[in-house]
Structures are given as structure tokens and as C-alpha cells.
């Protein structure tokens, strides 16, 4: 599970105009396991919206959802960067504010 504070970068991954065309597996989401996590996720989302997105007239589209069943990815996806030290650089893995 990714702590809410580390999940903040997902707020800037998807722009609202793309939400209608992206398959759900490519959309950002925060998955919660308890009421406390849900409350924290909503509070932090509201704070980040007000501080970083509303001034730019943009809206956070990251969904906040209850966590459901979990399935590990295929073995070749596990520890990917350890198996592929040159790895990859994804330009969306950064804060956009």
C-alpha cells in the first residue's frame, strides 16, 4: 500500500480531458483500507486541489476508492528495476507544481 503522502504525485498524472479516453487501468487512484485513510485521502486531495490546481483552473481527477481484492502482477513485472537496472524514466513520475 502506498501512503497517501507518496500518492500525491498521482494527482498530476492525468488531465481531466483525458479521463474519458483512458482505460481505467491507466487512471490514477488512491485505494483506502479504512475510514481513517478515506478521511485523510479526501482531506489531502482537497488541500492539494486548493493549493496547486484551483489557481491554475484545473481539477484533480484522481479517484478515491475502497481497496478491493489484490492480485500480484506476473512474475516478469516483479522487481522490474532490479532485473533491468537501466530501467525506464517515466516523465509523469514527478510533481507538476
Give residue-wise pLDDT tens across range 28-87: 789 999 999 999 999 999 998 999 889 988 888 888 999 999 889 899 888 887 888 787
What is the reported pLDDT for 86? 80
- 9: number of Cβ within 10 Å: 15
Q: Is the pTM of this model over 0.85?
A: no
| pLDDT tens profile 88-97 | 766 555 555 5
Domains with residue ranges and CATH for the chain: 4-83 (3.30.1060.10)
Does the pLDDT at position 6 exceed 50? no
Does the pLDDT at position 26 exceed 90? no
Q: Using CA atoms, how far apart are residues 69 and 50, in angstroms rounded to an integer?
A: 32
- 10: number of Cβ within 10 Å: 19
Query: For cell 484522481, what's the residue?
Result: 62
Amino acid at each position: 500500500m502506498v501512503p497517501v503522502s507518496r500518492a500525491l504525485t498521482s494527482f498530476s498524472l492525468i488531465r481531466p480531458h483525458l479521463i474519458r479516453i483512458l482505460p481505467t487501468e491507466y487512471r490514477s487512484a488512491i485505494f483506502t483500507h479504512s475510514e481513517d485513510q478515506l478521511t485523510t485521502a479526501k482531506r489531502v486531495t482537497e488541500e492539494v486541489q486548493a493549493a496547486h490546481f484551483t489557481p491554475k483552473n484545473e481539477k484533480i481527477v484522481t479517484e478515491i476508492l475502497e481497496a478491493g481484492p489484490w492480485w500480484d502482477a506476473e512474475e516478469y513485472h516483479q522487481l522490474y528495476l532490479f532485473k533491468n537496472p537501466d530501467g525506464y524514466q517515466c516523465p509523469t513520475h514527478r510533481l507538476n507544481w
